[in-house]
Amino acid sequence: MGKRIVIALGGNALGNNLPEQMKAVKITAGAIVNLIEDGNEVVICHGNGPQVGMIQNAMTELVRSDPEKYIPCPLSVCVAMSQGYIGYDLQNALREEMLNRGIDKGAATVLTQVEVDPDDPAFQTPTKPIGSFMTEEEARRLERERDYHVVEDAGRGWRRVVASPEPKGIVEIDTIRSLVESDHIVVACGGGGIPVFKTEGNHLKGAAAVIDKDFAAAVLAKQLDADLLVILTAVEKVAIRFGKPDQQWLDRLTPETARQYIADGEFAPGSMLPKVQAALSFAESRPGRQALITLLEKARDGIAGKTGTLVCG
């Protein structure tokens, strides 16, 4: 029996710019279609950190070039733009790969809004990295000139950070569920979803934020009643004491050990920490649910129990 699987794709599965993305999605589609070929229902959520930063920078430069002609583009709209163009490449790559293997299924991208709380404290403390990596000098210049919040990102360079509120629910969940149940491969909650909150009446207003795609994928997986959440990242397994001589790879994480490692500061914020937290949130949401953290190219082996870190409730 196949499983209903929600996959959270890391940035390494998409590249950092348009030419890189065109190449990356072909490799990504091959790994995902392996799972479809095995009889699984698959829903895909992806990140958009580099892409949404690139879009907003481009929009900012347009406004600077002619402020009378162009108006500033809200971050929520930039998220929507990134969903569209990443989804376009992903669904086409998936469709092509499935047809090459004789699999007759549709692939569709759902422009997805995700509800957040406007009073979420995250709006006061930006933590979500977006855009490309920079030197400290470049980051400090943007801090001065554009009033950006910048941080050093897990030893990899400096990046802009924005608010990252907790996702509460998927607005288009019924549409996504209908597509899954009619045997479509769905790309949804791209970039963590377009963050929105309710205002007067039935109006949804975009928020100046980027939702972490791993947390959004966990909420999506819960609402779709998925069997498995697969979080794909740049390492084959989760590790404690990462990068140190006594580094230890983990095959399995229980809620108790995961919480202890989190309390001990074993997982880097903005890197492995949200992946473990999201995996734990899904695995604990109902008996029998599990989450897997591994490499894209190891996803099939991970689901078969051969590798990766399995998080159990």
* Cα distances (angstroms) measured from residue 286 to each of 19, 48, 221, 228: 41, 29, 11, 11
Let me know if 48 is a catalytic residue: no
Dist. CA 302–CA 290, nearest whole Å:
12
Give me the catalytic one of 48, 53, 192, 213. 213
Q: What angle do CA 272, 56, 28 make, to 5 degrees?
A: 45
pLDDT of residue 154 exceeding 80: no
Per-residue confidence (pLDDT) for residue 134, from 0 to 100: 84
Mean pLDDT of 31-45: 97
Nearest-angstrom CA–CA distance, 284 and 204: 30
Active site (annotated) includes residue 11: yes
Q: Any idea what the Cα angle at residue 192 is, between residues 303 and 144, rounded to 5°?
A: 130
> Which residue in 275, 298, 302, 308 is the catalytic one?
275
Which of the four pLDDT bands, split at 50, 70 and 90, describes residue 20?
confident
Q: Give catalytic status of residue 128 as yes or no.
A: yes
12 is catalytic: yes
Domain ranges of the chain: 1-116+168-226, 235-313
Catalytic residue among 12, 34, 57, 92: 12
- CATH no. for 1-116+168-226: 3.40.1160.10
For the segment 64-115, what is each residue's pLDDT rounded down to a tens digit? Answer: 788 888 887 888 999 999 999 999 999 999 999 999 999 999 999 999 999 9
Q: Helical H runs in 107-225? A: 136-146, 173-181, 213-223
Angle ∠(311,312,313) on CA atoms, nearest 5: 130
Q: If you average pLDDT over residues 206-232, what whole number do you get?
A: 96
Catalytic residue among 128, 222, 237, 298: 128
CA distance 167 to 115: 6
pLDDT of residue 32: 96
pLDDT top residue among 56 and 180: 180
Q: Active-site residue 26, yes or no?
A: no
